[in-house]
Structure 1
Amino acid sequence: MTPSSIRLTLKRSYRTIICALLVPVLMLLVTIVGLSFQYSSCIENIETANTLRETVGDQSTEEVWQIVSGNLAFEDGKQYAYMSRIVNGIQVLESSSSAQSSQYLQAAARATETMKNYFDILGKQIAENRAVAYRESVMEEISSVARLIDEMLQNYIEEEIVRIGELNRQIQSTTFVMVIISFALLAMTGWYARKSYQHVQQAIDEPVQALDKMAAAIAVGDWDARTALPQVEEFRGLARHLNHMASRLEHSVAEQLIAEKNLQKAEMRTLQAQITPHFLYNTLDTIVWLAEAERNQEVMDITMALTSFLRISLSSGQDFIPVSREIEHVKSYLAIQATRYGSTMEYRIEADGSLGNMQVLKLLLQPLVENAIYHGVRAKRGRGCIVVSVQRTGKDQMTFSVSDNGIGIEPEKLRALQADLSAGVCPATQSGGFGLFNVSQRIRLYYGTELQIASVYREGTTVSFTIPCKEQENVSYISGR
């Protein structure tokens, strides 16, 4: 190729490139400006979200605590103002957020409505001059909702951080393309530029894809996600920080889950320990007067029933027992109570024998039966009847129910009882509320299901719950005595 040919080729190339570059350069400039605007918007969103977190995490809960502790009158508190500030902030964020980020904002908005409802409940309790214990219970619920809102805002911030990373990569990629194009136009070394571009593109694409994959995994809750440090220096710091963030998130979430689980289990075990003392004293009194009356066979029967009841209650510290032993436990309890109440009470147990080896959280039926006796059949005139049923419902579920033909629950009290149990509040003002609350909290914690209550005043009550069938190994069905 002669020098003239080279000059002609260069001249033609320059003219073609300059003409062809005008539109792409303008498009690239517009793109960079747009990405920079989005980048700034993300930063502002993160700052706003952090401000909202401070409001819900520190200011609002501290305000409520001042009210609960009596240091501040409810009407003088700023709790509703804080809620309005949070709602307005969420609405501002939704107007400039992606669909992926907005789902967390929507969840936070729903949670603020729940918190406002708890404020209303607290105000009502204060107006009614309810005990401090009730206010503290509502305070715990408000704190729980505040943590949920904080978690949703934190998830939103993480999503915005991912979005910033994506925008940063887009800006870098756009700038890089401009540099490559400019280098190619100036040097007219198409082959070298093409090879160099392929090499650099691969060096960028691999860490970008790895970081994107890791960020996506973290966004869906995979705290084990990690990425190797890339060869591109610009991405090494980002990869290192993401790995560190993932490690801290994993550790923090694991500690929080363990702490909450242990706390809830400890509370439930404390509730279990409160089931038997009063019943035990009454049973021993019954044994004494039977012995004084020389009714020896009945003394033996009730003593054996009590032994079986206590053995299953302890269950060597196990939380789960076979369904057969749960039935035997409640049958022993009913046998003792039938001895105490004589002809004024009868009972019937209807159990599907195929469910004997299925495992169930222990001591679920006995509190329901106790509630049926003391707040159902004992309050009516005439002979009372209690029916305990354990039946298979569907292929992989089983339903436990306790029915009585007792006095029932008035409609207004029934609605209040159901509302309290649904909200996780111990209905201390309701008859038998503690036993129902205990069972409701335990099945919600362990199974994620709800306690169902159906009652007709002066006709009777049925309390039931449904849980999955899960067979327990190395156990056999044990029938009641």
Structure 2
Amino acid sequence: MGILKFNNYQKVKSVSLSIKLRKIIFIMLLPLIFWILVALIIFGFYENKVAKLTHNVTISSKFNMDFKGAIDLKMYHYTVGSKQQTTLPTSDVKDAIALAESLKRTTDCKESRKALQNILEYCNNLQEKMHMIAETKEYDSRQLQLENNIYVLTRLIQGKMIDYIYYEAGYMAVLEENMRHDIKIVIVLAFLFVCGSISFLLTFGIRFSKSITVPISKLCHNVNQVGQGEFSIPEVNSSYIEIAQLNTGIQHMAMRIGILLENVKEEEKLQHKTQLQLLQAQINPHFLYNTLDAIVWLVESVQQEAAVTMLTNLSVFFRTILSKGNDIISLKEEIMHTKSYLDIQAVRYQDILEYDISLPEELEQIKVPKLTLQPLAENALYHGVKEKRGKSAITIQCYKQEKNIILAVSDNGIGINTDKLRTIKEGLVGSKHDGFGLTAVHERIKLYFGDSFGLKIASAYGTGTTVTVTIPENFQL
């Protein structure tokens, strides 16, 4: 649809505004030559300004769509040691610097030039942070620098480029207003001279003035609409190439700004998703410390076989957390992760903990978000089994129900009292982070599969608790 709009001026029988003015020179009397020249100078001046603005907005919009995604992806591959990116993408940053300097040379608006200066400073800082990552050998430190330095700087650069586009759009509105004002002055003065001429010249002059002022007024209205956040603006038809091109530039600018705003919304959604993933992926350091202490105790007690088994389970536990960077894994892998966790805890709580896991073979390859069952098993252990005196059991069942998959984590521990259970259920509905981390799992399930999926909890104090996870049978990334 945008292409049809932008090529509209080619469908209209167009004529150059300068040619039209030359015809007026031959028709009108010599005293009018001066005013025609003045008009030509004004039109040429504004045409040049508008062309530069349109060019600057176009290339800055394209840059803003491509730069952040490309740099972030290349730096991610570089930090993780991927063969796809073995060198720092400094050439991309240099290209961005060259583009900003080029824009600065053709930019008149003070605010826009300031935004470009900020972009140049951020780009220089970005190159320094890239070299810092190159000099860092530790993987976790490189990833931390990638998150806190590279991603932040590329976001700042993108934000400043959006500011630049905004200021240029505002400057274009001012320019259009000045152009309309100057044109009106020329028309009024020309009209005074035409009043003494024949009626044909009077009629001709009026028609000519309307053919310019009406489209420009509409263009100014369109620019004001864009400034107010309305990006679906009507076309302005004109027989003049310059006005048609100006209309094309404004239409293109409105479309690009709309796309940029949509991209910002998507990035905010992705950022929220990432925060939930990080929240879910946090590991309780006390679990690690206690596990290592238990291994030391087993070794000191000459129980090498038990120590080896516990180390193996710990290895499986962390290997599943990493999962080659994948956040979606098979149900079989998630069960292995949860089983390794329970095996480790069974050594520490052998007097009170038993568990049973049921996974039909046909459900092993069902895709689930990583760290879906383990947090539920952890909740069952710490808030159900440990709180009850005597031995308790945790049961994990996986089964198909119509077109959905049900994952149920049950315990016959102490259970949850009525008030606390009501608070937890309200937290799941309102996305409040209450209920021993259940909300984090619930939110991730909804993000991936939709609001019709998620967690449900049922409990009776003194009897036990059951948490069920509902996910679709078929899920494509």
State the TM-score, normalized to the length of structure 2: 0.47
Q: Which has the higher contact order (CA 8 A, sep 6+)?
A: 2
